Structure 1
Amino acid sequence: MVLFTTSPAGLGHIRVTEALREGLPETVRPEVMGIDDKSIKFIHRVGSRNRTLKMMMELAQNNPLVENYYVAWFRKKLRRETQEVYERVADLVARRRPKPKILVIIATHHSLAHKMAAIKGRLARSLGVDVVLAVVVTDDTYQKIWGVYGADYIFLPSDWTRECLEQYLRQLGWELPKLVVSAYPVSPKLARYLDAQEFKTRQEQVKAGGKEKLAIIMPISGAAVQLAYFEKLIVELSIKPAVRVTMVSRESSYTKEFLDWCQNVPAVEVVADREDREVVLSYEKELTTKVFAVEITKPSEQTFKTLLSPKQRGGVVLLFSEPVGRQEYDNLAFLLRHGLIPNEAHELRLNRFFIENDKPQFEEEFLKMAQEWRGLKLPNDGEMAGRAIDRLKESGILARMVDYSGDRRNKELDSQGVDKFWQTLAQLVSKQYPVYKGSLSR
């Protein structure tokens, strides 16, 4: 039996849960817990939008002393308050027919991961099942709260994050979970390849003077931040007739005014849902049924669509707005390590280029460098960002990024992360419990 535990603290945790769920055989019917936790959803949105709370959260993330104190307190609190979670899991297992022999828990958020680690032994004894807990870190970030002792496995997107987390856990003197570096789990639907005509359409969209309108998808974060920025950006983009924008968002009191405004902009199509999971599914539907060339997004978990090539469904050129939270800076650092975004010198040149008024033009050497990029950072001013996109297209930068020629041999850059996750987990469980021989569904 497979049980996913997640959280609505941002769409990323749900997005990873859905991606992993898509990778299971149809014969496996997983259960999901935590997706509808309204209290966490509220805290996340308020904390992301309220300036004072946001500063407090960033202090807890970026000051080692504060982080150590906060993590120790929060971890203890999570592991103490487990009775409700225990009863829910016990009920799910009790209602399963036939009775499962093994319970494999996949935690895509640290809160329920700590609770599951605390009750893992109790579940095994009381229910008479083997229990495996695998934690999936949903950003390439070293945050100590992801150090879930008592887990069997912690899956991380890079060696850098693994080394940082291992050092922290060793300092605490706990028995180490097995730390597994595995490529980020991007939805298998987005990893499917475009046909020849669809890829040609993507190329035409980014070509200066191309026959196709530039199709841009803009997912709004679960916390609905940066709306004023996006409004200015859209105003600037809509000046050009050869642009169409699809806005994917949660419909809420936070987004209502913005979405109502978008509905009145001819170049913008709005796709909005009330529930977080529906927002995630609608976003996937847009990318799998239409051809987009560009996505404008925060460097959240969306960053890892850079693992896809432009010949794949989700292989859009990623243009990043300003990071929010340490994890988003860490995600950009991942891209920089792998050469998937411009280095500091190239970024400075692009920033100068964005504010210039002369004809967009780069030498061939610079354009060849752009063929190794899968994303880049936009200016922090929305109006300037809209202007930058136009100049990127006219200069040929976007076209070169779609004709991508980067090196993908590093294991951290594998676009089949979901398949690799399940293959690796099945092998690990088989070693831990040889009786299951790679099957997680008994």
Structure 2
Amino acid sequence: MALDQLKDSYNLVIFATAPAGLGHLRVSHALQDGFPENVASFVFGAFDPSLTYLHRLSSLNPFFRYLQYLVQYHPSIEQVFTDFYRSYLRNNPEETEKQLLTLLNTHQPPPATAVVVATHFGLAHEIASLKPIIESKLKVKIQLYVVVTDDTFHKIWAVDGAEAIIVPSLHTKNLLSNYFSQKKFKKPDILVNPYPLAPQLGIFPAKILLERKKQLSLKSHETTQVIIPISGAAVQLGNLENIIKGLSQISPKTFHSLIVSKQTSYTSPFLSRLSRLKNVSQTTATTDRETVDLYEKVFKQKEVPTLEITKPSEHAFKVLFTPKELGGVILLFTEPVGRQEEDNLQFLYRHHLLPTSQENSVLERQLLSNQPSLSKEILEKAHHWRGLILPQDPQRAITYIRNARDLGLFSQMLKFVRSHDSESAHDGVARFWQLVNERLPSHD
């Protein structure tokens, strides 16, 4: 990947994110991992504990969850919130201004162009408002790229003043574009680019597909490895605990559950209870960034994960990997939390990576009725699926997972072949840096 413009010593790349859930950090981390070596870069904005607290509050507290529901599902209320929050962010950027001025003033050589990659709308609005001020003060060209971290349209992501807004699908691009026109904001370029997945998880290790086949075959004694990442807001812990307990008791061919979690006052009791179970292990960290790193390290262990139980958050986009790639686990989705996770599922449905609602009804009926086999039609369709929707009841979910393995559904899903649809590509990080490179000015 030739990125000659980006490698110019007069460019500085700044990653701006926020700990409002692990998704923003995970996307920023993926973009950093695919970043060319020897290019000056800096990370800021990822260490505000108040944002983590507010994110958890809006996910768990009944009153704040209701407020979040109103904002997400009632357009008029969303507009009131967006107008207020956008105005607040753009009129109160003092701390961000101080950080940016300090960074740009002290960096050597003095940058001619600062490329700011924002994976959170809060910092994106602040930097957009500061852009003309800083450009005038320091004679530095600022290019702000806003990377939307779900395939969803929220009005707050409409950041006028950006160089470009990057979205995972044409569907979201059209919704965002229409909103800019409706509000008569100056519209930046809105570009469709495949979701930025961690490059380390996109490699093709030798024999990984064979290992996953062994884990799912009843003819093999290999344990089925299940990875379970705990969300930043630590939601759905009760259901997950029941599923993990149920899987730990299945024999003679066992499931092993590996929990990846941040160690907090919210998760500690959950982790403590599960630490006593056989066939369950856990790996924890004390910071959000370490938690993101730990998740990727799990895939490099000897026992590679084959299944993953997760919400349809940013993890949903790992369906863009194939089972031949390190990150190509079969995704088993719990109930979505919030409109953005519902929208992520719609992305998967549009690309036929999940069973349709009708197919899912047939699938549940066959898997939960203790039939001796699945229909030929279902097994043939499974070649096209990269994920499944679990029943909401934990006991039914346990039966569903066990029978999906024992009746060969998961094994059929390992035969998946990637389509040539550009939105479904797995190299979104490389494509992102290529488009940034092409838009950079020359400093000759």
Give 2:297's aligned residue. Answer: 285
In the alignment, the residues of structure 2 paired with residue 210 and residue 44 of structure 1 have an alpha-carbon distance, to the nearest angstrom, of 43
Distance 2:394 2:139 in 1: 57
SS of equivalent to 2:360? helix
Q: What's the CA shift string for 1:387-442, capped at 9, x where partnerless?
A: 2100100111100111213x52010011111000000111122xxx2447xxxxxx
Amino acid at match of 2:375: E
Q: Does 1:333 align with 2:346?
A: yes
Amino acid at match of 2:266: Y
The alignment's C-alpha RMSD in Å is 1.1
What residue is the counterpart of 1:439 in the other structure?
Answer: none
1:208 Cα deviation from its structure 2 partner:
3.0
Q: CA deviation at 1:210?
A: 2.7
Tell me, what secondary structure is at the counterpart of 1:69? Answer: helix
Aligned residue for 2:7? none
203, 210, 214: which one aligns with 1:204:
214
- Using the alignment, how far apart are the partners of 1:161 and 1:325 within structure 2? 16
Amino acid across the alignment from 1:282: L
Out of 106, 119, 124, the residue aligned to residue 95 of structure 1 is: 106
Three-state SS of the structure 2 residue aligned to 1:190 is helix
C-alpha displacement of 1:125: 1.2
Alignment of structure 1 residues 381-420 onto 2, 5 Å: 381-405=393-417, 407-420=418-431
- Contact 1:190–1:288 (Cα < 8 Å) also in 2: no
Runs of 5+ in structure 1 lacking a partner? 437-442
Q: Is the partner of 1:149 in helix, strand or coil?
A: coil
Residues 113 and 141, structure 2, Cα contact 8 Å, conserved in 1: yes
Structure 1 residue 214 corresponds to structure 2 residue 227 = no
Counterpart in the other structure of 2:360: 347
CA deviations on 1:10-31 (whole Å, 9 max, x unpaired) are: 0000000000001111202321
Aligned pairs (5 A) from 1:13-52: 13-52=24-63
Aligned to 1:247: 259
SS of corresponding position for 1:288: coil
Displacement of 1:152 in angstroms is: 0.9
Counterpart in 2 of 1:369?
Answer: 381
Amino acid aligned to 1:163: N
Q: Name the amino acid aligned to 1:250.
A: K
So what's the TM-score if we normalise by structure 1? Answer: 0.95
2:321 to 283, 294, 308: 308
Deviation at 1:60, TM superposition (A): 0.2
The corresponding residue for 1:229 is: 239
Query: Are residues 357 and 363 of structure 1, via their aligned partners in 2, closer, same or farther at CA, if it must alter by over 3 Å?
Result: closer
Question: Could you say what secondary structure the match of 1:140 adopts?
Answer: coil
Is the Cα contact below 8 Å between 1:7 and 1:13 reproduced in 2? yes
TM-score normalized with structure 2 length = 0.95
Letter in 2 for 1:18: H
Task: Letter of the 2:364 partner, please give it.
Answer: N
Give distance in 1, aligned partners of 2:260 and 2:70: 31
Deviations 1:201-250 (A, max 9, x none): 11111223433110000000000000000111011101114111110000
1:353, distance to aligned residue in structure 2 (A): 2.6
CA distance in 1, matches of 2:397, 2:224: 15
- Give the Å deviation of 1:365: 2.5
Offset at residue 288 of structure 1 (A)? 2.8
Taking the aligned partners of 2:170 and 2:72, their CA distance within structure 1 comes to: 21
**Separation in structure 1 between the aligned mates of residue 378 and residue 234 of structure 2, nearest angstrom:** 36
Q: Structure 2 regions of 5+ residues with no counterpart?
A: 1-11
- Whether 2:169 is the aligned partner of 1:165: answer no
* Structure 1 residue runs of 4 or more that deviate by more than 3 Å after TM superposition: none
**1:265 to 1:371, Cα distance in 2 relative to 1, 3 A:** same
- Deviation, 1:370, is 0.4
Partner in structure 2 of residue 275 of structure 1: 287
SS state of the match for residue 131, structure 1?
strand
Q: Deviations over 1:103-130 (max 9, x none)?
A: 0000000000000100011111112211
Give distance in 2, aligned partners of 1:252 and 1:384.
Answer: 29
Tell me if structure 1 keeps the 8 A contact 2:366–2:374.
no
Per the TM alignment, residue 383 of structure 1 is displaced from its structure 2 partner at its CA by 2.0
Q: Distance in 1 between matches of 2:309 and 2:248?
A: 15
Paired residues of 1:156 and 1:180 also in contact (CA < 8 A): yes
Give the structure 2 partner of residue 10 of structure 1.
21
Say whether the 8 Å CA contact 1:354–1:384 is kept in structure 2.
no
Preserved CA contact (<8 Å) 1:189 1:288: no
Given residue 140 of structure 2, which amino acid in structure 1 is its aligned partner?
Answer: V
Measure the CA separation in 1 of the matches of 2:324 and 2:152. 28
- Aligned equivalent of 2:5: none
What is the deviation of 1:289?
2.9
In the alignment, residue 275 of structure 1 is paired with which amino acid? T
Task: Give the superposition deviation at 1:182.
Answer: 0.2
The SS at the match of 1:370 is: helix
Letter in 2 for 1:328: E
